[in-house]
Structure 1
Amino acid sequence: MKFKRGDKVVVIAGNNKGANGEILLVDRENGRVIVDGVNLRWKHRKSTDPQNPKGERVQEACSVHASNVMLLDPSTGKGTRKRPSSEG
């Protein structure tokens, strides 16, 4: 897989097509990545008596398949297949 944590990517397929973000986590075994602010889902948390007497809903970023994201070229702002030469 050509992605690593911290890379800027653009989503090219799915519900969040066209969204940009930074990779937070790479799951090489399953071929998936977690992108900041993309593929958000609601997680319902149960109440814990002393710290949190009420339950809550929080949004979490879920993984997307690595084939649905493309590296972002900083000079053009579009997706690219190759790693930009400025990053090394």
Structure 2
Amino acid sequence: MERVKKGDDVVVRSGKDAGKRGTVQRVLPRDNRVVVANANMVKRHVRPNPQAGVAGGIQEREAPMDLSKVNPYCRTCDRGVRVGIKTLEDRRKVRICRTCGESLDS
């Protein structure tokens, strides 16, 4: 089971964006990386492509960051937390907050 999933709210732990909260847009499990909205912004020089409707210029977009730099956000604790996995009676696995024990899965 994954520690972080697409659509999760996360808190950036270190780097230039430390303390920022954002939503996971993509998870890259092979590279152990995630793309977080409005974090790790980089500038890319893009050539114009009229067929695809792309205007040229300098675009700012999110770059993947290492999974170890983010912690899932717990609404109960109001901060980034470590994650545990608990098996329910009906054999479903859910992610839980290690601090308060609340489920992170809706």
With the length of structure 1 as denominator, give the TM-score of the two structures: 0.85
Distance 1:86 1:66, change over 3 A: closer
Greater RCO structure (CA 8 Å; 6+ sep) = 1
Code of the residue aligned with 1:87 in structure 2: it is D
Code of the residue aligned with 2:105 in structure 1: it is E
**Percent identical across equivalent pairs?**
24
Shift in Å, 1:78: 0.4
Match of 1:15 in 2: 16
Shift in Å, 1:87: 2.1
Code of the residue aligned with 1:73 in structure 2: it is C
Match of 1:78 in 2: 79
User: Given the alignment of the two structures, is residue 66 of structure 1 paired with residue 90 of structure 2, yes or no?
Assistant: no
Q: How many residues of Structure 1 are paired with residues of Structure 2 in the alignment?
A: 87
Distance 1:78 1:66 in 2: 17
- Render the CA deviation track for 1:59-80: whole Å, top value 9, x for unaligned: 1100110000000011232011
Distance 2:21 2:67 in 1: 14
Radius of gyration: which is bigger?
Answer: 2
Contact map agreement 2:74 2:104 (CA 8 A) in 1: no
- Render the CA deviation track for 1:13-65: whole Å, top value 9, x for unaligned: 1111000000000010010000000000011112336756x731111100110
Code of the residue aligned with 2:17 in structure 1: it is N
Code of the residue aligned with 2:36 in structure 1: it is V
